[in-house]
């Protein structure tokens, strides 16, 4: 099927001006301070609105590191 009339360059470009990529907006997780998509649970620590929502399985090295980080944070809070 042939087009009946030609679309001008300006009409075509104004239509396509809306189609563009936007930068991903990120917020910071209050617990682990990593960037997270807004309104979603943190993939690393499994919290949402300061409540643990997901249980994350970790290997031994990651568990030890997380335990050390939590101890350091408690020491900082006490001071």
Residue ranges per structural domain of the chain: 28-78
Instruction: Return d(Cα 55, Cα 15) in angstroms, integer.
Output: 46
Q: What is the pLDDT of residues 4-52, one digit of tens each?
A: 889 999 999 999 999 999 999 999 998 888 999 999 999 888 899 888 8
pTM exceeds cut of 0.95: no
Give the helix ranges, DSSP H, for 1-79. Answer: 9-16, 60-78
From residue 15, alpha-carbon distances to 4, 6, 42, 50 in Å are 19, 15, 37, 43
From residue 67, alpha-carbon distances to 12, 33, 44, 48 in Å are 58, 16, 14, 20
């Amino acid at each position: 099927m042939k087009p009946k009339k030609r679309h001008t360059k300006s009409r075509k470009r104004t239509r396509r001006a809306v189609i563009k990529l936007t930068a991903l907006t990120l917020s910071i997780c209050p617990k682990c301070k990593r960037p997270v998509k807004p309104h979603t649970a943190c993939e690393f620590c499994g919290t949402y609105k300061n409540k643990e929502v997901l249980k994350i399985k970790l290997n031994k090295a990651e568990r030890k590191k997380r335990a050390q980080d939590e101890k350091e944070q408690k020491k900082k809070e006490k001071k």
